[in-house]
Chain A
Amino acid sequence: MTYLLGILQTIGVHTLLGLSAYLLLLTGQLSLAQVGFFAIGAYVSGILTVIFSWNIFAALALGSLMAGFFAFLVGFPALRVKGLMLVVATISFSEIVRLFFFNLSWRVNVNGVEVGPDSTQGFREIRYFAANGWEQIHIVGLIWFVVMVVMLALWWLDQVRAGAVLRAVGTDELAAQSSGINLTMVKVAAMTGGGVIAGIGGGLFAHSTTYVDHHTFVILLATFAVSYPIIGGLRSVIGTLLAVIFIQGFIIEGLRFMGDYRNLIFGLLIILVMNMRPQGLLDGHLVADIRKLLSKLTKGGKADA
């Protein structure tokens, strides 16, 4: 049971990472800065609960706002460029954040114990949940509540004008600009939103594992973050969730008996999926087919009745 809850925890946090990349991918921008925002959320909310003894919800909120703020700041210079340049710029941002926390040492004496980030030793004492009597099931519940809220918000975004604007920028920037859309504003907004989502994911991650260090926030995690929505397809938020379940649940956990070979399989799988389905597993055609099937089923039901 603990094992299962652990997997659910990982899937939840990775879904948040994937969704934060998804939001920016809708505008056609591939960002590897997500792991930087994730790290900011993790460290800021961790510092707030550990050193300043804040309530977890307030700390998570401020952590994600800080991540969003940095996303906003980095959005302006980074989004002046696009495509390949953005990839490079965002890799650099994530590495700057990682190296900053790698060098950050802020040890404080709280209730007779020295706590806080300890540069290369990592940030160890993020024990808010244990100290306040939360059980693992509550933590998993909180993570999945956040995941559901974010997914609903992103789904809702697709139903209103904002989603159409995002997708318009992603499909054809020139056409979007010609119809009066402010490209920079849309992209920076998407970047900020992605930062907020990644930040809250980072805060949840730090508190559920009780320990973070700079190794957690390497570029590898950022490539995971973008691989979920790309493999899942950008048509729907469900695609991202399915991709996370498939990769984290099936490849990483389910194939544990294969040892090292899992990572080899992961690399091959990405290559294979991209060749077979360049638009992702759940692409436009498949979504349309499913819709058709669903409406046929409901119509069929009505005819029988």
Chain B
Amino acid sequence: MTTADEATARPAAPVRLPLRRPEQGRWFGGVALGLAAHLDWPVRRVRVMFAAASLIFGVGVVLYAFLWLTVPVGDPVQAAEITRPAFLGRLARRQEVSGRPLRLPGPEVLAGVLLLAGAALLLLGRDHAAVNLSWVLPVAVLVAGVVLAWSQLGVVTRGRSREVAGGRAQAFLRIAGGLLLAGVGVLLLATQVIGTGIDPGLLGQVVVAAVAVVAGVALVLAPWWLRLVRELGDERAARAREAERADIAAHLHDSVLQTLAIIRARADEPGEVARMARAQERELREWLYQDRPAPGTSVAAEMRAVVAEVEDTRSGPEGEAVAVDLVVVGDRVPDACTAALLQATREALVNAVVHGRPPVSAYLEVGEDQVEVFVRDHGDGFDPDDIPADRFGVRESILGRVRRRGGTATVTCKDSGTEVHLVVPVGPCAADEEPTPGNGTAQQNQKEKAT
């Protein structure tokens, strides 16, 4: 066994990893690899020891087969992770046992095994001429069948047969083929024991009798087996439900319960309470109803983040929390233009919340060639031409920002309120002195700190 540089990334943990048979990097059943991880030895040493032990009356082979059957498949590091306390597991994820999925090519191994077996037979035949070949064939058939059936055991017991190439049908075929081979082997052996040789008539009787016995036993045991299967299914469903409930409970505990506790403690500050309730509502809503898009892929999500930030950090003229009604139509991938638009939107929202009068509404419409934002409040409004030049807020951060991107910005004041209308064209965006990446609008806004 020539081993390559089996650099199994064993974590330098003082505790011993549980005994598992890893699927990555195994040669046969992963026994040596798992044992090495468990004992914290080099894999090479374990493999050499197995090989050496095999020479002593096949002890190594027997031991290997025994461990193959008894040790469950799995990643030792992950198994250790599961048994570790949760608070440790959260801190950092361990490195996984990595290794090339090294497998010897099946046909060559088979040929080698057959050759070895042939050689052994020849050797035995020379020393003890009494070896009867009629015994060898049934045993070989039996062993082949058993190996074929057991080779699927690890897969089937883990319920992962669907992930394996070929799927369930192949697994079933292999087990059925293994059963058939083993059955034929047993029959041949039985006829051998009886000593009549392979007599077709007797063989037929034996087959019928064997099938009848097996069928009878199956019939008797069927109810127990069915109940076992059903209980297993029930148990699995219960565990899934339990996991789901734990997930929800953890979320409620981490967010909602804590917020409620804070709200109760600060019940005499209505503004703060309203703000916290609003933030919590938003967060819970997001958790319940929305599939969160990946960051940097959705203007709508960034708009929601902007609104959330303004709601959380800004208060109305009397220090009260102001909710912003946001409606979003359409979505697209953000670019520099929408980033500028959202920054301007943020300034407009801050203006509406701080200086205007609630209710404040925001509307984002993503069209094919332009993105529009309306921010509306019910305050008395302001005339953009009257703004003194030193008030940088509206003039520069709202109007200027959008106009530099080839968009338009208008402020309308009516007796029903003030509305800021921002439009930017999307597509190739004009370069600009502000280096604005396509995402991360919220963080940028926080750095910028409006006037």
A and B assemble together: no
Q: Which residues of A contact B (CB under 8 A)?
A: none
